[in-house]
Amino acid sequence: MNAQEVLKAAGVSFVTLREWIKRGVVPPPLEAVKGRGNLAKYPRHAVPQAGLARRLRDEGWTLDSIAEHMKTRTWDGQPAAPSGPTENDPDEAGED
């Protein structure tokens, strides 16, 4: 996935996306391609993860709580952290 796809899903600026990456809300780019600008490549799950982060922010979640929630999720076949979803998990309704 490229940066534009992640930015569109997140609905944020590039500066905000970098902060989300730094805070663990979305995954960092896999690699950078040099040439006309810097086109970062992101893991495939970065787009749905960015979309979920945007929805949670719209609901009033803090970045720290979103980052912790992301650790409990399974993304792209990677196992989630040992703790399971919370009782009020916004994704249990199948909105992914």
**Confidence class of residue 78 from pLDDT cuts 50, 70 and 90?**
low
CA dist 10 and 47 (Å) reads 8
pLDDT digits (tens, 9 = 90+) for 11-67: 999 899 999 999 999 988 886 654 344 577 888 889 999 999 999 999 999 999 999
